[in-house]
Copies of this chain bind each other. A is one copy, B any other.
Amino acid sequence: MRVDIGNALDSVAMPGVPRDALDRLDERVADAHERIERGRAGDEFGYAALNLPERTDPDAIRAAVEPVAGAEAILTVGIGGSALGAATVSTALSDGSEPGLFTLDNVDPAETVELLELLPLADTAVNVVSKSGTTAETLANFLVVREAFERAGVDWTERTVVTTGPDGPLRDLADEHGLPALDVPEGVPGRFAALSAVGLVPAAIQGHDVGAILAGGREVTDALSGSLFETPAYAYGAVAYALCRRGAGTVAMMPYAERLEPFAEWFAQLWAESLGKDGVGQTPARALGATDQHSQLQLYRAGPRDKFVTLVRPSERPSCPIPETDVEGLSYLGGAGLGELLAAEFEATEASLAAADRPNVRVEIDRLDARGIGRLLAGMEAACILAGELSGVETFTQPAVEWGKRAARGLLGGGDFPEAEAVAEKTTLEVE
């Protein structure tokens, strides 16, 4: 992973970070790095995430998915951190020759019913993920999926791989039916667990080299050092923090690769849930290049000076030549390839933001392959942990989501929760 923060300097951008402020910030990066390394050494909650590339056993994952190897479709049932990492890794590596990827990470009846009708259940692998084994959305969906298999006369116990914590309903189920079961790693919140069974099962079923993904991650975690000028991940995290302090309350994450669309979503969870607390945090906005040049770029370039744009790309792409054409005004396209067009758009957008004094950061990996995605995920996790240290927040908790969970459970008759009563007290001013 390479990170170029040149366009985030105050000589280019407003808001921008003065070069000498970066030097001073680097002293805090050194302290934060020490804290992070201490956390890793002691396997402390959250910090342990950076040990996953080393700790995760690719052989255990390969063995667990063996019974469903060759599946035509892979259905992940999970939500949040139990779904986004898996979607990110497997989509990044898909070239269309692999099994189809599907995710049930919502409880929309329209979608669930439709998907279960479309899937070739007898050739579908089900990847169900919940740390507690009690996540309402995931378990409700899994109950529905299980029933669909039964109705279709397909033995779901032959098609299901479970990833869960040491106990709970999913673990019991796996034990009872002898399902292949993998462990959600201890001491790591879901959003930091992509480089474990939580994020790697679908890629393993697809036949990708899980060991290479982990090796890519490990290259990043092994190379973390006490200076942002030597550690790309820290350069990103430190500059994001420094820009946020100077008014860039939003980060637009804009990969230039369709297969990184779920990555932007994964990043959005990582950033929002880890750093958004105590009244501070930076809001992630997901975008996609070049598509969103025709949508969000107007705002990014001419709207309020409250954001910075992160442009991500693989340097190498497959080739797809654009056919020659004699149509007037289009002939310049012929002879180039779609990849060159996309590269020109990437550089043009970067320059166009800089020309309007808008801060932006470039993140590059060599190729969108197993090592590349491992590097990118580990790099952004390290960046996020650093930004959390600099911000002084509890990076690894998400207390603000509990209220709503209790209210929903109460509304469904799952117990007495005062939060459910608050729902009825809603202030209404309805316009019809």
Chain A contacts to B: CB under 8 angstroms: 2-7, 9, 11-12, 79-81, 83-84, 95-96, 105-115, 117-118, 134, 136-137, 139-141, 143-144, 146-147, 169, 172-173, 191, 228-232, 235, 249-250, 256-259, 265, 268-269, 272-273, 275-281, 283-286, 288-291, 293-307, 317-320, 322-323, 325, 327-330, 332-334, 336-342, 344-345, 347-352, 354-356, 368, 398-401, 403-405, 407-409, 411-415, 419-420, 422-423, 425-432
Known: A114-B96, A412-B341. A269 touches B295 (CB 8 A): yes
Which chain B residues border A250 with CB–CB below 8 Å? 249-250, 283, 285
Partner of A303, one of B105, B172, B281, B340: B281
Q: Is the CB of B2 within 8 A of A291?
A: no
Q: Is the CB of B144 within 8 A of A322?
A: yes
Least distance between A73 CB and chain B CB atoms (Å): 14
Q: B232, B334, B407: which contacts A432 (Cβ < 8 A)? A: B232
Give the contacting residue for A348; candidates B258, B299, B342, B423; CB below 8 A: B423
Most buried by B among A83, A147, A289, A352: A352
Tell which of B147, B275, B291 touches A79, judged by Cβ atoms closer than 8 Å.
Answer: B291
A59 to chain B, nearest CB (A): 30
A261 to chain B, nearest CB (A): 9
A245 to B94 alpha-carbon distance, docked (Å): 44
Name the B residues within 8 Å of A117 (CB-CB). 96
A169–B428 touching, CB < 8 Å:
no
Contact status B296-A269, CB under 8 Å: yes
Q: Which residues of B contact A12 (CB under 8 A)?
A: 427
**Is A297 in contact with B404, judged by CB distance below 8 angstroms?**
yes
Once the chains bind, are A305 and B293 in contact (CB under 8 Å)?
no
**A134 touching B294, Cβ below 8 Å:** no
Q: Are B339 and A301 in contact (CB under 8 A)?
A: no
B281 and A431 contacting across the interface, CB-CB below 8 Å: no
- CB pair A400–B107 under 8 Å, yes or no, is no
Q: State how many angstroms separate the Cβ of A88 from the closest Cβ of chain B.
A: 12
24 A-B residue pairs with CB within 8 Å: A6-B427, A6-B429, A80-B291, A107-B341, A107-B345, A108-B317, A110-B368, A134-B330, A144-B323, A232-B432, A265-B295, A283-B299, A293-B401, A293-B404, A301-B401, A332-B412, A333-B414, A341-B412, A344-B407, A344-B408, A344-B412, A347-B426, A350-B426, A352-B403
The answer to whether A349 touches B306 (Cβ under 8 A) is no
Which among B118, B286, B298, B354 is the interface contact of A276 at CB below 8 angstroms?
A: B298
| Chain B residue, CB-CB nearest to A13 | B427
The answer to whether A277 and B291 touch (CB under 8 A), given A114-B95, A431-B2, A432-B2, is no
CA distance in complex: A294, B270 (Å): 11
Q: Does B286 contact A303, Cβ atoms closer than 8 Å?
A: no
CB neighbours of A425 from chain B (8 A)? 351
> A428's closest neighbor in chain B, by CB?
B6
Cβ of A302 and Cβ of B413 under 8 Å apart?
Answer: no
